[in-house]
Structure 1
Amino acid sequence: MTTPALSIAGLCKSYAGVPALRGARLELFSSEVHALMGENGAGKSTLIKTLAGAVAADAGEIAVDGQALALQTPSQSHHAGFRFIHQELSVIPHLSVAENLFLGRPYPQRFGLLAHWPELNRRARAALSALSIDHIDPSLKMARLATGDQMLVKIAAAFLGDDGAPARIYVMDEPTAALTDSESERLFAIIARLKARGCAVLYVSHRMDEVMRIADRVTVMRDGETVSTAAIADVTKADIIEWMTGRTLAEAFPQRLASPLPETLLDIHGLSGAGVDTVDLSIRRGEILGIAGLSGAGQNELLKLLIGAEPITAGEIRLDGRKLGRGDPARRWQEGFAYVPRERRREGLVAGASIGQNTILPHLKALARAGIFRKRKLEQSRAAELGKRVRLKAAGIDQPVRQLSGGNQQKVVFARAMLASPKMLLLDEPSRGVDVGAKFDIHTLLRELSAAGAGILLASTDLPELIGMTDRIAIMRAGRIAEIVETAGLDQAQLLALIFGDGNLDAQPRTVGA
């Protein structure tokens, strides 16, 4: 029988007495793409950290080509042939693309003393071109790149020369979360080349269609244990969802609890700012309004203008009939807005702080006596209460946020947004990188908030989410609202045609008033 390229047996790990892995097992073979799936908190991230040498397992064995290894450091993992592409970007924004690409590697030198910057840029350009990434200038600062381009740079870094440690096993953790469809296709072509070269790929994703398309086998984890392993050809999406959740979960969105009320809650007239040009938009009380568009169409920028993170150059905002000033984020939260950003770790969380501290962060003044003296017990009780409401999986509210899985980190961001019962909730890719179970929990919360009368503005590139959760969808192009359509009767093909501005598809929905 063929020896696995990677074998994991009986892997166990606990944090503060709470088990994260309970005897996890997995076999990965050469020339195989093996999907690893499970809800957030199932143990996938901890398993990856043990393979990376970032976390030491309490028990169990990891073997490469049949040889047991003690992976205690990232260096040991690298020399064992592992390469990692992580969902959450870890870049140094003030350094150039070339410098980020070669982090941890010796830079070419001039006269053995000084960095040879032209040569470094040349090597970086060659590394990017090898993956057909020709539109990124290696001399640019990473901070100037869009999120998807930053991810492409990190992917390219994983494919650099081996430095005496040949790459055998690639571990990809939600690599397409920040990529466009065309960028994802480029990654899939790279994976196919790796497979043809005899490499093994462990592919972690919540995107069922991707897994069914590119994986040869799938392993599902639940509560730190390996539940099942099967060939992709032998399973359905429904099988995988049931293994992940322990229950039958239809691929449907929670039903609306109440219809939107007729009165206008949020009214925007002529709003302009960075990336946004003369936007007119109104949202009814209890309505969920989607925002769709190509990358860079202005969705993210519109939400940042509304929350006060970017300056408004023209136009006005009215909430509940009251005209709002040109406030900052703190003032917007006090006025009744709440915001869930696209990049939860970079824009939404203080990783070293606790769950409780992150939850109450924008509400310190509101929870304080006379707006000055903090009420610690009240803060803790409210954070704990909201943790239960969002079904947070954690050891307690004092646990550092950095120890949580991505989906549970997202639930902390949602708990913060819900604390003050917002009038208007602004969401930017709220279910990005979140598994089917956590996604259903989040969508259920949105239904509850809208039924209570909150307005919700939901920007998403997930077409089923937009169609399944919203009442209307605003299509943005070049910073403007191009059209607004009713969601009822809309399908994905029609929505995609609207996003691309293609008027040739039959049965396109009629544009309705803003």
Structure 2
Amino acid sequence: MNSDAASVPFLQVVGVHKRFTGVHALRGVSLSFQRGQIYHLLGENGCGKSTLIKIISGAQPPDEGELIIDGVSHARLSALESLEAGIETVYQDLSLLPNMSVAENVALTSELAGNQGRLARTFDRRALAQTAARALAAVGLPGDAEFQSTLIEELPLATRQLVAIARGIASEAKFVIMDEPTTSLTQKEVDNLIAVLGNLRAQGVTVLFVSHKLDECYAIGGEVIVLRDGQKMAQGPITDYTKAQISELMTGRQLSNERYRESGYGEEVVLNVSGLTRTGQFADVSFALHRGEILGVTGLLDSGRNELARALAGVAPAQHGEIVLDGKRITLRTPSDAKDHRIGYVPEDRLNEGLFLDKPIRDNVITAMISSLRDRFGQIDRDRAQTLAVNTVKELQIATPDVDKPVQSLSGGNQQRVLIGRWLAIDPRVLILHGPTVGVDVGSKDIIYRIMQGLSQRGIGIILISDDLPELLQNCDRILMMKKGRVANEYQAGNLHEADLYHALLSEAA
């Protein structure tokens, strides 16, 4: 490539506007993307990030403005035109086909782009396997025949995320958009992805990296682009900005990095777990949760932390051990058992495990309370349901004009608060929050953290399952670290430094 061609930006977004009913999502946004550079697209949910991604990837047309690719102007792009131009998008919901194999999913984009948007009746299996093996190796996944033939639906969420990234690499894209790519990844996998990004940059690939995790953005380096209310607030080298400055640009207000946790907890034990075991997942787990305490649980993906959360929620019950709630031994075999004992559970994957996306906010809030909202004829008392939903929206600061709106119309942070509100309706004794701020912007994180602290002050015992170390240190009283299915260490969060917790997390000792 000659120097003149190299100096021309691969992509320019010029004066782009996008309007939806009652919402001006993008307001004259102009951006320039050079080859072989990494750009971090930051902003609160609802700021226009998703709309911008969809316009670049051809999923939506702009109302005004243009896209210039390699010097050629486009008033709009179709999805196929975007692929043919070398633009590949790894969406937050992954967009993988669950009933197809890993290899078939990895090769999907290159097949579509090479055949004018059509898939051949049969794949060249040998070429497909070679392509998949190279791409999978680049993201640290096995490339053997057994793994390549595995159906996507059989893989854990974190592995699916890496497969989706491998698909972008396999297509030899020139411009890769990664929408929250580290949402489900452990720290080791994040470190591996950072190395992958470095390789892409060295090959002249432009990367647009969408994330809410500022530490990762600084570790990756490159430029930062900040959107707020559909407008570009800043663009430049990320090292030119502090975290506080970026947060203020995103939210329009100053946010503190101090600990949210101020008050302690009482001596009363609300939940006591002894010798809890589920074969192959966790073993001999014991701990006590006090009234009003926020207890953090962390560990790598294979540590058993996720499985422990599901066992305490009755989703995948333990086989051995004892659970005592308020001094009485209980059995948790189903989610209904947990609900009946006033144990609430906000799952890690809110879209697939928690919410009914096409249903109204009201219906999502009252789900755990339906039986108590029925009248003597067995019908749901609509007035009581409406009142409960409206009060929940107000208490948890859920941004919506109407509880009749579908929950999918909300931003990620507001969706998460709907889930928390569902369980507050049962007046919980224990609330299990599994990754409560995954895919949530800094402003919404602040609100959720303050809600969490308020709930603990009401005497609710909270178990916070997370691999976000600052989140744990800012909010918890104690932190349990799990390794190889067992509780390896216990820490007092107020006296702990992030670096020490990080090194302990990566240590092989259990």
Structures share fold, TM-score greater than 0.5: yes
* Letter of the structure 2 residue corresponding to residue 324 of structure 1: I
- Calculate percent identity across the aligned residue pairs: 36
Of residues 133, 136, 148, the one that matches 1:128 is 136
Q: Quote how far apart the aligned CAs of 1:371 are.
A: 9.0
Aligned ranges 1:160-175 → 2 under 5 Å: 160-161=170-171, 167-175=173-181
- After superposition, the Cα gap between the structure-2 partners of 1:74 and 1:230, relative to the gap in structure 1 and judged at 3 Å, is same
Of residues 45, 50, 75, the one that matches 1:45 is 50
Aligned to 2:149: 139
Does residue 63 (structure 1) correspond to residue 71 (structure 2)? The answer is no
Q: Quote how far apart the aligned CAs of 1:12 are.
A: 2.8
Q: Quote how far apart the aligned CAs of 1:82 are.
A: 1.2
On the 8 A contact 2:11/2:67 being kept in 1, the answer is yes
Q: Which SS does the other structure have where 2:181 is aligned?
A: coil
On the 8 A contact 2:45/2:440 being kept in 1, the answer is yes
Deviations 1:229-274 (A, max 9, x none): 2332322222111111111212224243x42121110112222225
Of residues 39, 53, 78, the one that matches 1:34 is 39
Aligned to 2:20: 15
Aligned ranges 1:333-412 → 2 under 5 Å: 333-370=339-376, 372-412=378-418
Q: Distance in 1 between matches of 2:229 and 2:62?
A: 16
**Unaligned stretches of 5+ residues in structure 1:** 505-514
Deviations 1:170-227 (A, max 9, x none): 1111212222233223322232233233332211111112222333321111122212
- After superposition, the Cα gap between the structure-2 partners of 1:4 and 1:383, relative to the gap in structure 1 and judged at 3 Å, is farther
Q: Which SS does the other structure have where 1:249 is aligned?
A: coil
How well do the aligned residues superpose, as a CA RMSD in angstroms?
2.7
Q: Distance in 1 between matches of 2:383 and 2:21?
A: 23
State the TM-score, normalizing by the size of structure 1: 0.89
* Letter of the structure 1 residue corresponding to residue 224 of structure 2: V
Q: Which SS does the other structure have where 2:31 is aligned?
A: strand
Q: Quote how far apart the aligned CAs of 1:409 are.
A: 2.5
Moved more, 341-350 or 479-488: 479-488
Aligned to 2:164: 154
Q: Quote how far apart the aligned CAs of 1:393 are.
A: 3.1
Moved more, 26-35 or 351-360: 351-360
Q: Distance in 2 between matches of 1:412 and 1:394?
A: 11
Q: Distance in 1 between matches of 2:492 and 2:190?
A: 29
Q: Which SS does the other structure have where 2:301 is aligned?
A: coil
Q: Distance in 1 between matches of 2:489 and 2:225?
A: 43
Q: Which SS does the other structure have where 1:408 is aligned?
A: helix
Aligned to 1:509: none
Say which structure is richer in helix: 2
- After superposition, the Cα gap between the structure-2 partners of 1:503 and 1:300, relative to the gap in structure 1 and judged at 3 Å, is closer
Deviations 1:380-436 (A, max 9, x none): 332233223333334533333334333333232222232333211101111222222
Q: Distance in 1 between matches of 2:95 and 2:171?
A: 20
* Letter of the structure 1 residue corresponding to residue 480 of structure 2: A
Does residue 86 (structure 1) correspond to residue 94 (structure 2)? The answer is no
Q: Which SS does the other structure have where 1:381 is aligned?
A: helix
Moved more, 204-213 or 11-20: 11-20
- After superposition, the Cα gap between the structure-2 partners of 1:498 and 1:34, relative to the gap in structure 1 and judged at 3 Å, is closer
Q: Quote how far apart the aligned CAs of 1:20 are.
A: 2.5
Aligned to 1:96: 101
- After superposition, the Cα gap between the structure-2 partners of 1:383 and 1:113, relative to the gap in structure 1 and judged at 3 Å, is closer
State the TM-score, normalizing by the size of structure 2: 0.89
Q: Which SS does the other structure have where 2:80 is aligned?
A: helix
- After superposition, the Cα gap between the structure-2 partners of 1:54 and 1:38, relative to the gap in structure 1 and judged at 3 Å, is same
Of residues 217, 231, 239, the one that matches 2:237 is 231
Aligned to 1:74: 79
* Letter of the structure 1 residue corresponding to residue 230 of structure 2: G
Does residue 416 (structure 1) correspond to residue 427 (structure 2)? The answer is no
Count matched residues: 496
On the 8 A contact 2:187/2:300 being kept in 1, the answer is no
Q: Quote how far apart the aligned CAs of 1:122 are.
A: 4.3
Q: Distance in 2 between matches of 1:151 and 1:371?
A: 47
**Unaligned stretches of 5+ residues in structure 2:** 115-119
Aligned to 2:275: 270
Moved more, 379-388 or 147-156: 379-388
